[in-house]
Chain A
Amino acid sequence: MSEVMTRPPSTTPPAAADAEEPNSWTLRVRKAWERILPMEHLLPARQPYYVGSWVYVFGVVTIAALAWVFTSGVVLTFMGPQWWHDTGVGRFFNSIHFWSVQMFFLFMVLHLWGQYFMAGWRDGRAATWMIGVVIFGTSIITAFTGYVSQLNFDSEFIAVNAKDAMNGAGIGAFFNVLNFGQMYGLHVMLFPITVTLLVVVHIVMVRSRGVVKPIDPEGGAAK
């Protein structure tokens, strides 16, 4: 027989109940979240009228491409690294992965150049730009671990060739591109998680401050 709750339900309004818990970590986190990124900033229904250029779309398309990279990557990971070499369906999913990666980098670079010429770091947005550059670099390493995990001729030669750069920089002692197990594990787990977290941070920063105003044509350095 299940236990019956004997205490009557509280009649205190939620806001008043919150006020009674000044030391609550949960409340502190919630208030900080509401201060940094209220829902109307995360999902605004209105934007400044100058947010009408196609350049603004590059960032969203980059996220869309990343979603396709992840979706196809999850299928390829679930089915195992040899599956796509042996079946037509597997090859098709690998092709989706391949082309969505190409699209991801294409639109990420367009987004980067667009933000550069818009000087998107102005008015306190420098950290957003810096996180974006870190995402770009991490994405390159992620893609690289994918290229050396292909289990085909391409991965063989890229690994043999690239080991010299890694070894020359001392990285090869820990990051062995000839070790498929290490590269595959990094490619399907650690680096995708890192990219995802960085993208989330990047989006939160963009949405919390809003898009930057156009560069003032009247003068003033683009700081």
Chain B
Amino acid sequence: MKKQVTQQEYYRGVRMVPYDLVKELFLALAGLGIVVLVLAAALSSPDEPTVTIQQWAQSDAVDFVTTATGELAGTTTSAGYGAPYNNAGGEQSWGPIAPQIWFGQRIPIDSAGEFVIQPLKYASAESPDVASAVSTWTATGADQQQKWLASYTDALSKANYADGKVTVADGDYGPLPAMMNALLALGQSGSLDGLLTGSGHFYQVDYTKALMFMGDGGYLSGLAEDQSLAGDQWGMMNETGSYPGQTWLWLYTMWYQVWPFSSDTGVIGLNGGNADLGIVILMTLLTGALALVPLIPILRDLPRWIPIHRLIWRDYYAPKKRAARA
């Protein structure tokens, strides 16, 4: 076993000079403090107000209704997500590596029931028309429901919004128009914000359901794209406004912009469809490699080959240069 060398032995023959570490720390605290205080006073910090379901329903009613219809049809991101929210089977995997499936459905969300039907049942107490529409819907078979959903979804592409209601061309949509306009009214009143964060508790700290519902729509992501926050805009290292974001995530977000993670086909089973899993695996390997640099040939030798250390320790190397010149 290699004996640990003491500092006295390690520095034998090395000229030691006075060095005040504590003073250096205090100067750093003061100097950095001045910089931070000036930046805070001059530039402040980003704080764009939250987007609410109420704001979404008021600002883009057609998108709101289209999303809610998608929840019933099972076509939204939430509805088809898979673990940890449901068993729809949308999990990412790479060959036998499927941690999303391994850990299962730990945060159960029934997007049709919890985002649409349950809130409408809440509204039914105030409105017999809504109660009747929900009753008709739940009493109808799945085949007929899907027919109504398909035709209503098609019609929503040419929908109009006026006087608090989304209207579509005449057709056989069953109770869907009544249900969706009732849900829209709930959204616009702000009630849906409360219902999706309520979960039967008085104190609320979990916004999973409300954020999942908003994430299914185009409104939230549209606002994010305006601020260059989307995944394909290097969004992870951006912030609202002109502030720096998590710039230290540049390498992580870079992989989303390049092949094979930006491709539909990819290579060896890695593509845009399982990019999240692939990139987490890749970054884990790269972080491990960074930690193990001292043990990896070439990586550990690069600092000796690239003479940046001669700039860092230029005073140390200067006498040898002078001696060589002499």
Q: Which residues of A contact B (CB under 8 A)?
A: 41, 43-53, 55, 57, 60-61, 63-65, 67-68, 84-85, 91-92, 94-100, 102-103, 105, 109, 114, 116-119, 121-126, 129-130, 133-134, 137, 140, 143-144, 147, 150-154, 156-162, 164-165, 167-174, 176, 178-182, 184, 209-210, 213-215, 217, 221-223
A169 touches B19 (CB 8 A): no
Contacts of A99 in B (CB 8 A): 35-36, 39-40, 43, 45
B48 touches A100 (CB 8 A): no
Contacts of A137 in B (CB 8 A): 287
Contacts of A84 in B (CB 8 A): 47
Q: In the complex, what distance in Å separates the CA atom of A93 from the CA atom of B201? A: 32
Q: Contacting A65 at CB < 8 Å: which of B2, B32, B224, B293?
A: B32
Q: In the complex, what distance in Å separates the CA atom of A5 from the CA atom of B137? A: 86
Which of the listed residues B25, B49, B50, B309 has the most CB atoms from chain A within 10 Å of its own CB?
B309
B39 touches A129 (CB 8 A): no
Q: In the complex, what distance in Å separates the CA atom of A222 from the CA atom of B294? A: 9
B25 touches A45 (CB 8 A): no
B312 touches A114 (CB 8 A): yes
User: A64-B25, A215-B313 known; 6 other A-B pairs, CB under 8 Å?
Assistant: A46-B19, A49-B315, A68-B29, A98-B40, A118-B313, A169-B276
- With an 8 A cutoff between CB atoms, is B33 at the interface? yes
Given contacts A45-B19, A51-B19, contact A60 B40 (CB under 8 A): no
Chain B binding surface, main DSSP class: helix
B5 touches A49 (CB 8 A): no
Which of the listed residues B5, B287, B291 has the most CB atoms from chain A within 10 Å of its own CB?
B291
Q: Contacting A160 at CB < 8 Å: which of B43, B215, B239, B306?
A: B215
Chain A: minimal CB distance from B139 (Å): 34
Contacts of A126 in B (CB 8 A): 294-295
Q: In the complex, what distance in Å separates the CA atom of A151 from the CA atom of B314? A: 49
Given contacts A167-B100, A180-B206, A222-B300, contact A53 B29 (CB under 8 A): no
Chain A binding surface, main DSSP class: helix
Choose, from B58-66, B112-120, B125-133, B243-251, the stretch at the interface: B243-251
A-B residue pair count with CB separations less than 8 angstroms: 282
Interchain Cβ contacts under 8 Å between A and B, 21 examples: A47-B16, A61-B32, A95-B39, A96-B36, A98-B243, A114-B312, A117-B303, A117-B306, A130-B291, A130-B292, A133-B291, A154-B46, A154-B239, A158-B229, A167-B84, A170-B100, A173-B107, A174-B106, A215-B313, A217-B317, A222-B304
Q: Kindly identify, within residues 95 to 118 of chain B, every residue whose CB is under 8 Å from any CB belonging to chain A.
A: 99-100, 102-104, 106-107
- Closest residue of B by beta carbon distance from A151: B50
Q: Which residues of B contact A (CB under 8 A)?
A: 2, 4-5, 7, 10-11, 14-22, 24-25, 28-29, 31-33, 35-37, 39-41, 43-51, 81, 83-84, 92, 99-100, 102-104, 106-107, 205-208, 211-212, 214-215, 220-221, 223-224, 229-231, 235-236, 239-240, 243-249, 274-277, 279-281, 287, 290-295, 300-301, 303-304, 306, 308-310, 312-317, 320
